[in-house]
């Protein structure tokens, strides 16, 4: 126990010196599980689909086999949870929206400015498209070389993090990536998701410590 505490304290000091620890956060060596409601159970993925819709030139729906054949990226990201823990140098694999656009697989209409992530059980999350096109967002299905655990979003989640050592305006708290993702709706106007309707920040910038919507409190 003491050895783990010393290791955590040493690593936390290092990331502070590297200016990678946002205000109000503490380093964790674990990967805490936080979500609202039940964890969905998938006996197989034969009926699973991911839909791209709204302000797109052509609506697209992918099966699991089709989605996992799309171009992938492997990314190392720091994760910052609004509940004040941060986990550093995590390794993920998945599909990046910018790659789909570059290859013409998904074409957004000019007035598309925001994206609503629709997840199982009606859970939603809002993000500006510029944040989803940045280097710190991924449609992730592997963590540390393995498929996601159910509690962490299996089979697919939006993954919102921060590129190690590279502060960016698009660095958001982890909840801005929705677990158990089922569709992406592209819109012209922003729309509050599940946690945003409950009083959490619409923008959620980690460096400005945008945790809550001031109008709610």
User: Which tens digits make up the pLDDT trace of 37-90?
Assistant: 789 999 899 999 999 999 999 999 999 999 999 999 999 999 999 999 999 999
pLDDT of residue 215: 59
Q: How far apart, in whole angstroms, are the C-alpha atoms of residue 100 and residue 89?
A: 25
Q: Evaluate whether residue 98 is within a structural domain.
A: yes
- CATH number (domain holding residue 192): 3.90.420.10
Instruction: Please report whether residue 172 resides in a domain.
Output: yes
Whether 13 is covered by a domain: the verdict is no
Q: How far apart are CA 47 and CA 212, in angstroms?
A: 37
The overall longest dimension of the chain from CA atoms, in Å, is 57
Q: What local confidence, expressed as pLDDT, does residue 1 receive?
A: 59
Evaluated on CA atoms 124, 128, 132, 134, the torsion sign reads: negative
Q: Give the number of domains in the chain.
A: 1
> What is the rounded CA–CA span in Å between residue 21 and residue 29?
14
Residue 195 lies in a domain: yes
* Beta carbons of 151 and 39 less than 8 angstroms apart: yes
Q: Residue 35: inside a domain, yes or no?
A: no
Residue 104 lies in a domain: yes
- Using CA atoms in the order 112, 72, 172, 51, what is the torsion angle rounded to 10 degrees? 40
With contact defined as beta carbons under 8 Å apart, do 83 and 195 qualify?
no
Per-residue burial over 139-158, b if 16 or more Cβ lie within 10 Å, else e, is bbbbbeeeebeeebbbbbbb
**135 lies in which domain range?**
42-216
Does some domain include residue 15? no
Taking only the tens place, the pLDDT of each residue in 122-167 is: 999 999 999 999 999 999 999 999 999 999 999 999 999 999 999 9
Q: Record the pTM.
A: 0.94
């Amino acid at each position: 126990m003491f050895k783990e505490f010393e290791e955590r304290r040493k690593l936390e000091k290092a990331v502070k010196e590297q200016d990678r620890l946002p205000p109000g956060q503490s380093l964790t060596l674990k990967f805490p599980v936080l979500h609202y409601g039940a964890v969905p159970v998938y006996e197989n993925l034969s009926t699973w689909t991911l839909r791209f819709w709204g302000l797109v030139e052509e609506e697209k729906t992918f099966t699991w086999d089709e989605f996992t054949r799309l171009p992938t990226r492997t990314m190392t990201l720091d994760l910052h949870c609004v509940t004040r823990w941060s986990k550093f140098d995590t390794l993920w694999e998945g599909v990046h929206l910018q790659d789909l656009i570059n290859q013409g697989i998904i074409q957004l209409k000019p007035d598309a400015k925001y994206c609503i992530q629709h997840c199982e059980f009606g859970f939603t999350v809002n993000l500006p498209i510029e944040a989803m096109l940045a280097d710190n967002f991924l449609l992730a299905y592997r963590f540390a070389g393995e498929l996601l655990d159910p509690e962490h979003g299996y089979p697919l989640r939006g993954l919102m993090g921060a590129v190690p050592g590279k502060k960016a305006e698009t660095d958001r708290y982890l909840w801005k990536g929705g677990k158990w993702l089922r569709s992406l709706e592209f819109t012209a106007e922003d729309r509050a998701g599940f946690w945003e309707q409950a009083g959490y920040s619409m923008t959620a910038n980690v460096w400005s410590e945008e945790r809550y919507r001031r109008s709610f409190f």
